[in-house]
Amino acid sequence: MGRGIDYSGPLGTCNRDPDTGIRYGVIPLGALGEFAHESFEPHYDATCGHCGEDWPEDLDTPANCPACGNHVRDGEQFGDEPSSQICDEPSSQICDEPSSQICDEHGYKAHLDSSGDAWFTLSPYYTRAAFCSPCAPGACYLTSPCEDGERAYCPGPDWFDEDNPAPFPIYSVATGERVTSEVA
């Protein structure tokens, strides 16, 4: 199997870490251990229920929306047009559906896309893999390992189990050394 085509172009920088140059790694959630889905938490984009503008993360409720001035508290809007939606996320317009599923802990930054693929945009580990399709220019598809492929962030050995062992060698970003992919 070859390295594939880098659809980001020869000088492209999309889908790679600007600090390290390591590519983002994409892997189907089903290729990970059974428990991997528990590593992803729902994420709600907080927006003003009145005007729809983004709610600054550092602005606590109760507060007035910086864009329109309406008072919002615990997802309930007070002002010209009271909101009938109440949720536990500050001023979120769509309270029952998360905007995404993310993992942001233990040195990982990852998210699930709408097709059920996990995108690793930061990790303590990498592997070498072939490029993804044009749908993910510059990223690498982790289930297509390739010795001469690009370095791409990947989940560590603890993201796999006996039923789903790592389909690629795993290396430490810090040392460049290969780490075990065997399940204990």
38 and 107 assigned to the same domain = yes
In this prediction the pTM is: 0.72
Domain boundary residue, one of 54, 74, 97: 97
Give pLDDT tens digits for 123-171: 999 999 999 988 899 999 999 999 999 999 999 999 998 888 999 999 9
Neighbours of 85 (CB within 10 A): 14
Task: Mean pLDDT check: name the lowest of 36-40, 93-97, 125-129, 137-141.
Answer: 93-97
Angle at 165 between CA 162 and CA 171, to 5 degrees: 135
Q: Comparing 81 with 129, which gets the higher pLDDT? A: 129
Reply yes or no on whether the pLDDT at 7 is more than 60.
yes
Domain boundary residue, one of 33, 62, 97: 97
Work out the pLDDT band at 85, boundaries 50, 70, 90: very low
Instruction: List the structure tokens of 119.
Output: 């995108």
90 and 155 assigned to the same domain = no
Tally: H helices and E strands in the chain: 0, 13
Please, what sign has the CA dihedral across residues 76, 42, 123, 127? Answer: negative
| Distance of alpha carbon 130 from alpha carbon 144, whole angstroms | 6
| Distance of alpha carbon 165 from alpha carbon 159, whole angstroms | 9
| Distance of alpha carbon 9 from alpha carbon 119, whole angstroms | 20
> Quick one: average pLDDT of 78-92?
40
Reply yes or no on whether the pLDDT at 95 is more than 60.
no
Q: 152 is in which domain, residue-wise?
A: 25-42+99-179
Give pLDDT tens digits for 19-33: 999 999 999 999 999
Helix or strand or coil: residue 179? Answer: strand
| Distance of alpha carbon 15 from alpha carbon 175, whole angstroms | 23
113 and 162 assigned to the same domain = yes
71 and 90 assigned to the same domain = yes
